[in-house]
Amino acid sequence: MAGRKMLIGGEQNQTNVEDEAHYDFDLFVIGAGSGGVRAARFSANFGAKVGICELPFHPISSEVIGGVGGTCVIRGCVPKKILVYGGAFGGELEDAKSFGWELNEKIDFNWKKLLQKKTDEIIRLNNIYKRLLSNAGVKLYEGEGRIVGPNEVQVTQIDGTKLSYSAKHILIATGSRAQRPNIPGQELAITSDEALSLEEFPKRVVILGGGYISVEFASIWRGMGANVDLCFRKELPLRGFDDEMRAAVARNLEGRGVQVHPRTTLTELVKTDRGVMARTDHGEEIEADVVLFATGRSPNTKRLNLEAVGVELDQTGAVKVDEYSRTSVPTIWAIGDVTNRMNLTPVALMEGTCFAKTVFGGQNIKPDYNYIACAVFSIPLLAVVGLSEEQAIEQANGDILVFTSSFNPMKNTISQRQEKTIMKLVVDAETDKVLGASMCGPDAPEIMQGIAIALKCGATKAQFDSTVGIHPSAAEEFVTMREASRRVPGAGKPKTNL
């Protein structure tokens, strides 16, 4: 094995054959989700000898169940998006009548058929991820990994056999798991894991939580015909997103028939003959077939033995890392949701790529978290990049110009669906630089990905204005918003209680 140069924090360390000869692996990765697989493959491509371990596959995770592909592929983004497609057809079929489609009044929805299609797809992707590792020369072990020393990993296989491996570097990429609020009867509820694999379609659903998972499942199940009650603590869902977009999402949920309960939490769940009774802090009782807890996720660190080997954790249990993803132990690194930085699959991929390039590729690269676009797959969709209006005002030294457009999409003018698309650009008044973009409406993520490139390149509002739009499209609104809706002084510290 040839010696490699590692660039860490600008310092160059020459490693040699003798120094590495007594290690079983140059890198051992615990966790074969999106970030772990990316880091393993790219490190192997740079010539490293790489091992990786992952828990046995199952759609519903536990402390001893997982699967190659991780949360995103098996019980997150991918199966969720498949169900979003399924839920969206509910509204599409209603609208189709206005476009000349003569549909029978009785249209059946087969939940089990959709779930089987979903399961088939995640099994296919699970196998693809395994092949990607194999083709890169990465050795895959099925079992639970834990760290027993700065350079030693122990893997407990399915039959209980324990295997120990030494590694020059260890990478933690174990992701996160859904958490449950500690209320009486909490065992009667499900999390997003189970929601993606329910055997029977729930006709009555109560959802607790105001984040993207709760909003997405409310859209999914309502689109399929369920009665949905959505409870969250704030005045609006999606805390941290632009307030104007949050209000639009709430209106759209209500417009499609979701019963929204702001400033509401659940205090108790009780088993009944007809299902589960959810009691709120306002004294309401809502009966449901299923209660979904979408109240956040916790880093998967409890069973890794990290504190015993000196890896520091924060108060949430997340692994503390520096800007290069290195932990408090120099030979141990961590990426993805387990570090609780920006918990998105593409971010974990970026962190895995930067890790491999830094440690094995001779490049000194740290993740860049600026202008990362993200989407909420509600129906209709929400997508954002850069700063929200509230963030821009809080961070700005000068004035902020806000450009907005609210309109009824052409499709809705025919179907008579009362659901407006809303777009927004947030601009630095002095430099003309576009600081943020938001959109709530059909195709928002597809449009926002292109906008993200422009913002990453430092685009100005004048450059947006000089771009010729595609007509007729919703996207052209982003290059035709000529007049500012408002000018807001910066550093006003606008704090919302919404």
Q: Does 215 belong to an annotated binding site?
A: yes
Taking only the tens place, the pLDDT of each residue in 14-24 is 444 445 458 99
Shared domain check, 51 and 169: yes
Shared domain check, 151 and 218: no
Confidence of residue 7 (pLDDT cuts 50, 70, 90): very low
Shared domain check, 306 and 171: yes
Domain extent, residue 410, equals 373-488
Q: Does 176 belong to an annotated binding site?
A: yes
Residues 6+ apart with CB under 8 A from 37: 52, 68, 69, 70, 129, 132, 133, 352
**CA 295 from chain center: how many Å?**
14
Tell me the C-alpha distance between 250 and 439, whole Å: 14
Shared domain check, 191 and 174: no
Q: Which of 361, 387, 406 is the last residue of a domain?
A: 361
Tell me whether residue 104 is in a domain.
yes
Shared domain check, 208 and 117: no
**How many distinct structural domains can be found in the chain?**
3
Q: Does 174 belong to an annotated binding site?
A: yes
Q: Mean of the pLDDT values across residues 312-341? A: 98
Taking only the tens place, the pLDDT of each residue in 436-462 is 999 999 999 999 999 999 999 999 999
Tell me whether residue 216 is in a domain.
yes
CATH code of residue 276: 3.50.50.60
pTM over 0.75: yes
Q: Does 213 belong to an annotated binding site?
A: yes
Tell me whether residue 8 is in a domain.
no
Shared domain check, 100 and 173: yes
pLDDT of residue 491: 72
Q: Which of 274, 294, 314 is the last residue of a domain?
A: 294
How many CB atoms lie under 10 A from the CB of residue 409?
19
Taking only the tens place, the pLDDT of each residue in 68-82 is 999 999 999 999 999
Q: Does 145 belong to an annotated binding site?
A: yes
pLDDT of residue 61: 84
pLDDT of residue 498: 67
Tell me whether residue 50 is in a domain.
yes
Confidence of residue 493 (pLDDT cuts 50, 70, 90): low
Q: Which of 97-106, 204-213, 267-276, 393-402 has the lowest mean pLDDT?
A: 97-106
Shared domain check, 45 and 174: yes
Q: Mean of the pLDDT values across residues 337-342? A: 98
Catalytic residues: 471
Shared domain check, 340 and 278: no
Tell me whether residue 461 is in a domain.
yes
**Quick one: which H or E segment has residue 30?**
strand 25-30
Shared domain check, 306 and 168: yes
Alpha helices in 372-477 (DSSP H): 389-395, 410-415, 444-456, 461-465
Taking only the tens place, the pLDDT of each residue in 377-405 is 999 999 999 999 999 999 988 999 999 99
Tell me whether residue 20 is in a domain.
no
Tell me whether residue 310 is in a domain.
yes
Q: Does 81 belong to an annotated binding site?
A: yes
Shared domain check, 322 and 174: yes
Shared domain check, 186 and 173: no
Confidence of residue 494 (pLDDT cuts 50, 70, 90): low
Q: Which of 294, 316, 334 is the last residue of a domain?
A: 294
Dump the DSSP string for 224-250. Answer: TT-EEEEE-SSSSSSTTS-HHHHHHHH
CATH code of residue 469: 3.30.390.30
Shared domain check, 37 and 157: yes
pLDDT of residue 443: 97
pLDDT of residue 495: 56
Tell me whether residue 495 is in a domain.
no
How many alpha carbons fall within 13 Å on the CB side of residue 88?
Answer: 15
Tell me the C-alpha distance between 493 and 261, whole Å: 28
How is residue 386 written in tokens?
């850069």
